[in-house]
Amino acid sequence: MTISRKIGLHQIATRHVALGKPTILKWIDPSTGDLAAARAETGPECLFVVRFYQSTEPLDKPEQRADEWVARHQSKALALAAVHPNIIFEGYNEVGDGSIARHARFEIRRMERLHALGLRAGLGSWGVGHPHESRWGEYDAMIAAMRPDDVLCFHEYWRDTADVDNNWHVTRFRYHGIWEHVQGRLIAITEAGRDTMFDVVPQGDAGWKKTCGPDEYMRDLRRAGELYDAIPEVVGVTIFQHGAIDPTWKDYEVREIWPRVVAEYAAPVVVEPPPPAIPYYHSSRQGSAISYVILHDTEGSAAAAQAWFRDPNNTSQSSSHVIVTSKGEVWRLVPDELAAHHAGYGSIPGVSVNINRVTLGLELEYPAAPASPAWPEAQLAAAAAVVKGWCERYGIPRERVLTHAQVDPARRSDPRCFDLAGFLDRIWPPTPVEWLPSTDAATLAAINTGDLGMMQDKVRWWTEEAVRQIEGGGVQRGLEILRDMVQVDGGLMYEAERAAEN
């Protein structure tokens, strides 16, 4: 058995293990002595990733904060680079999507300052699932400013052995919407391992020791190494963690297994068959492109639907890519690249293959008939976000988001009591008509001829649009529409009435 040399160590404090000769090593706040001893063991080819811990990571003034970061750490960074030139320096840790614009500016400035000192940058240090694939364009300027030896840094965790093969968690950067921006750049996974995952029903736990023993975790690392080995851009992966004093991280400690990892670096390669990756029924898309989304309802609890999608008694082997609960929780079941079995008895004009191969299925939690409650706002908002992400990722237009009832009308009526047009307006908001001001010749002509019908149509349209916006959560926009209607169209109505009277 073997483990890829791309599987390296994430070191926090005092080292108590042999390092071997991995391709990568990460260290939090190392001394020059620490680095010199580690380099003597790993050799010069190993990339060292250094992060300087800061209790606060402000982004209110991005360029100023980048200057402060460099001023605070440059003497230490220069000393470390003198010991081991094959080194990069990470910045802030796991910045959320709400700060993307400021983070990009911070990283550009920090990178410029590091380059001026002759140092290499480790950029991003993004947490699992960040940034969202629809927002990668906001980092394009940062990526364009990189030198060839700078490195993009990601964090990737999984919940169990099967989840290692879930590329929503592992090698997520290969997803459409991300890969187009990062392909060809050096990539390092600077945190990895087992953790609790929250993009479905919370599964796993905080640290590998809570969910498995050493043998099983070694299988995780072997499989992860195989996946990362297949991607030339990946320099290496640092497994979190060794050496932390803080008890928060005790269940991530790899001290007891690391001698086995190092011993397997030089072992002969033996390819083990991967464990079953996905517990829910699925099949191959057989090369078909994703081009439609189909909406369903569960006719029962989300938990019951999830259990049914892997139940041996489910003879039709039905399943779905995603369930959205009534509380707005998003449970991801079958990865996009595989076909879930959600609409195989239906048909779509122009599609000659089983439509499961070209569609993504989304189940909305909804009680069984005849119960017909209103759809919760939290659920509709979460579902719209999922569908929007899919449509942006795969280039799916509005008219290709369908209901189960549309593709299988003889057998299905779901989702019941569902306003499809209103739901789609959340993703593709209708463009308000920009009506001409009262000084426009056409409007004046309508007033002069007493065309009250035109004015009344306008007021009715704007009122309906304001209601749609407010019901969809856009209260501020709805109020703005009403205000503008009163100020403009209301005035026109008054003028038109006066014209008619005269």
Question: Residues 6 or more apart from 324 whose CB is under 8 A from it?
Answer: 302, 330, 331, 362, 363, 364, 365, 379, 382, 383, 386
- Average confidence (pLDDT) over 457-486: 66
pLDDT number for residue 411? 93
Q: Is 58:105 a contact under the CB 8 Å cutoff?
A: no
CATH number at residue 334: 3.40.80.10
Q: Are residues 257 and 302 in the same domain?
A: no
pLDDT number for residue 270? 40
Q: Amino acid letter at 54?
A: Q
Distances (CA, A) of 6 to 9, 109, 121, 232, 414: 10, 30, 19, 11, 48
416: in domain:
yes
CATH number at residue 11: 3.20.20
Q: Are residues 99 and 132 in the same domain?
A: yes
pLDDT number for residue 497? 41
274: in domain:
no
CA 325 to CA 347: how far, in whole Å? 27
Q: How many domains does the chain have?
A: 3
Per-residue pLDDT of 72-123, as tens digits, reads: 999 999 999 988 889 999 999 999 999 999 999 999 999 999 988 889 999 9
Percentage of residues of the chain with pLDDT beyond 70: 83
Q: Which residue has the tokens 């990339």?
A: 47
Q: Which two tokens stand for residue 18?
A: 């042999």
pLDDT number for residue 490? 43
Q: Are residues 198 and 287 in the same domain?
A: no
Please give the model's pTM, rounded to 2 decimal places: 0.56
Q: Are residues 191 and 89 in the same domain?
A: yes
Q: Are residues 117 and 160 in the same domain?
A: yes
- Domain holding 128, by residue range, is 7-265
Per-residue pLDDT of 288-307, as tens digits, reads: 999 999 999 999 999 999 99
Per-residue pLDDT of 193-230, as tens digits, reads: 999 987 656 788 999 999 999 999 999 999 999 999 99
Would the pLDDT of 434 be above 70? Answer: no
* Backbone φ and ψ of 333, nearest 5°: -110, -70
Q: Are residues 309 and 343 in the same domain?
A: yes
Percentage of residues of the chain with pLDDT beyond 90: 68
Q: Are residues 351 and 497 in the same domain?
A: no
